[in-house]
């Protein structure tokens, strides 16, 4: 290697070791294998570990396959326990066994095995066991001494958790407060912040995001059934959970079932088609009900062909009205504002909203029909009454279905997509033809 090559490598090393782990991970995804090998050698161990934890499954496996056993062991040592667990969950079963036996330090195996035992998307599967705590009788000087001798990363030492003599979590103290009061002999409890909320390791990870948003917490404590601290979830991880839940909810609303967390360009056309097909098949099958209804009222349609022209408008209006209500209620469920016990209140409120919205739409539609359409008063009256009834019923259905889903532990966002549209479409047709039968007759 000549001096010019050495100089280039040195400049590259200086540059990449000043980059953010997120940017490093993005570059590693795009680099050729030869360049990845160079970057791995030039990156310092901490930075490589942080970037590695952010890589997608395929890239992690590729990088592991290119490393020597010593480098793999060094990389695993730099990863936090929760990051090791994330990596192991993405590896084939035979590789997991090899990693646990050869590359994971023996004293870390019990913790990692415990974290691996938690269900995916539970708090336990994402929590960190890297935290520092003191008893409430500890002085600021003693707490600072414990921080100084801790081997945790700096971002895990910004606050110290406080327990009572029984090790039950009662609050936390900020590092800044410890420094300001370091010369005082009072117990740490004098400037301790009480615990606003905590979660269990078995709770759904979505609860972490809700609490972080509600209380503006920088770290969410995870406790056992007796209130003892067993882990924490930093706010930045809660943000990741929010992003994952948002993508999942968006997929549910629009009838897309994500089969894997890969990016759009990394997924094959076949896999994307598979993700999108299931709900379309469900909608296609359930649409059979609407065809049955139309066949049942063929004589009515034959006697008044004009009725058929308004079916799309009524179905669209009903579907949109139901989706609006379900989206609003789902947001209320997520923020904790709406609960199942308020089922009747939600129903009554959506009824009133439906009446107001329905009356306004009926007025607009009558004006529209009088200007653009030449139909009998019977058809106009039928469409208007159906429109009002449809909007009211759709609002009520859209409001209560997410609550029912939440009660039976089904993701409420499923009710905001194709499912509610299919239900409303069937209802609209039935109401429309029944009202037409009464007002127009056959």
pLDDT in tens, 81-116: 878 888 887 777 777 777 777 778 878 888 888 887
pTM of the full predicted structure? 0.63
Please give the DSSP secondary-structure letter assigned to residue 221. Answer: E
Contacts of 231 (CB under 8 A, 6+ apart): 123, 124, 127, 128, 129, 131, 201, 221, 222
Q: How far, in Å, CA of 438 to CA of 442, rounded?
A: 9
Output the pLDDT for position 387: 92
Are 322 and 428 in contact by the 8 Å Cβ rule? The answer is no
Tokens encoding 386: 């159906």
Give percent of the chain above pLDDT 90.
10
**Beta strand 199-200 pairing with 193-194:** unpaired
Contacts of 407 (CB under 8 A, 6+ apart): 340
Contacts of 32 (CB under 8 A, 6+ apart): none
Please, what's the largest Cα pairwise distance for the chain?
Answer: 95
CA torsion through residues 25, 27, 31, 37, sign? negative
Contacts of 336 (CB under 8 A, 6+ apart): 210, 214
Average pLDDT over residues 175-182: 88
> 276 or 392: which carries more pLDDT confidence?
392
Please give the DSSP secondary-structure letter assigned to residue 192. Answer: P
Output the pLDDT for position 357: 93
Average pLDDT score, the chain: 82
Residue 36 Cα distances to 41, 47, 60, angstroms: 9, 14, 12
Output the pLDDT for position 170: 92
> 261 or 422: which carries more pLDDT confidence?
422
- How many CB atoms are located within 10 Å of the residue 39 CB? 18
Tokens encoding 297: 């009222």
Could you tell me where the beta strands, DSSP code E, fall in 228-330?
229-234
Average pLDDT over residues 20-27: 88
Q: How far, in Å, CA of 66 to CA of 97, rounded?
A: 19
Alpha carbons within 13 A on the beta-carbon side of 347: 10
> 149 or 270: which carries more pLDDT confidence?
149
- The string of pLDDT tens digits covering residues 125-167 is 888 888 889 998 888 888 899 999 888 888 788 889 999 888 8
Output the pLDDT for position 359: 94
> 276 or 339: which carries more pLDDT confidence?
339
pLDDT of 268 above 80: no
Give percent of the chain above pLDDT 70.
90
- How many CB atoms are located within 10 Å of the residue 29 CB? 15
- 430: confidence class by pLDDT, cuts 50, 70, 90: confident
Contacts of 276 (CB under 8 A, 6+ apart): 255, 256
Output the pLDDT for position 94: 72
Q: How far, in Å, CA of 15 to CA of 23, rounded?
A: 12
pLDDT of 260 above 70: no
Output the pLDDT for position 370: 85
Output the pLDDT for position 363: 93
Output the pLDDT for position 6: 75
pLDDT of 280 above 80: no
Q: How far, in Å, CA of 334 to CA of 341, rounded?
A: 15
Alpha carbons within 13 A on the beta-carbon side of 48: 22
Identify the bridge partners of residue 122 per DSSP, sorted by sequence position. 204
Average pLDDT over residues 203-218: 83
């Amino acid at each position: 290697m000549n001096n010019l090559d050495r100089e280039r490598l040195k400049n590259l090393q200086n540059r990449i070791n000043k980059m953010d782990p997120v940017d490093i991970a993005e570059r590693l995804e795009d680099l050729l294998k030869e360049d990845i090998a160079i970057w791995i050698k030039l990156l310092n161990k901490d930075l490589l570990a942080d970037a590695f934890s952010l890589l997608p499954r395929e890239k992690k496996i590729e990088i592991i396959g290119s490393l020597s056993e010593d480098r793999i062991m060094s990389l695993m040592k730099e990863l936090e326990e929760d990051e090791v667990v994330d990596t192991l969950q993405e590896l084939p079963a035979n590789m997991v066994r090899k990693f646990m036996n050869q590359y994971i330090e023996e004293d870390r195996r019990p913790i990692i095995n415990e974290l691996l035992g938690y269900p995916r998307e539970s708090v336990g599967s994402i929590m960190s066991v890297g935290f520092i705590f003191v008893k409430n009788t500890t002085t600021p000087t003693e707490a600072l001494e414990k921080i100084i001798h801790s081997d945790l990363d700096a971002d895990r030492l910004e606050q110290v958790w406080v327990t009572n003599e029984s090790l039950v979590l009662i609050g936390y103290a900020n590092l800044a407060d410890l420094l300001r009061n370091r010369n005082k002999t009072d117990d740490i409890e004098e400037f301790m912040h009480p615990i606003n909320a905590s979660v269990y390791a078995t709770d759904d990870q979505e609860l972490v995001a809700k609490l972080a948003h509600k209380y503006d917490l920088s770290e969410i404590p995870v406790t056992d059934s007796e209130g003892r601290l067993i882990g924490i979830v930093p706010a930045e991880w809660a943000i990741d959970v929010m992003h994952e839940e948002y993508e999942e909810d968006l997929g549910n609303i629009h009838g897309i079932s994500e089969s894997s967390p890969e990016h759009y360009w990394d997924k094959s056309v076949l896999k994307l088609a598979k993700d999108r097909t299931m709900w379309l098949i469900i909608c296609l099958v359930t649409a059979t009900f609407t065809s049955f209804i139309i066949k049942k009222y063929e004589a009515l349609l034959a006697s008044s062909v004009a009725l058929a022209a308004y079916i799309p408008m009524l179905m669209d209006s009903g579907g949109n009205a139901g989706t609006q209500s379900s989206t609003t209620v789902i947001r209320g469920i997520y923020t904790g504002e709406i609960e199942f016990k308020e089922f009747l209140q939600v129903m009554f409120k959506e009824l009133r909203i439906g009446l107001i919205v329905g009356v306004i739409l009926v007025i607009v539609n009558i004006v529209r029909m009088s200007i653009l359409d030449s139909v009998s008063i019977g058809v106009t009256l039928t469409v208007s009454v159906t429109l009002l009834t449809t909007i009211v019923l759709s609002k009520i259905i859209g409001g209560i279905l997410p609550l029912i889903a939440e009660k039976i532990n089904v993701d409420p966002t499923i009710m905001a997509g194709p499912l509610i549209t299919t239900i409303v479409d069937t209802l609209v047709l039935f109401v429309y033809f029944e009202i037409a039968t009464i007002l127009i007759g056959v």
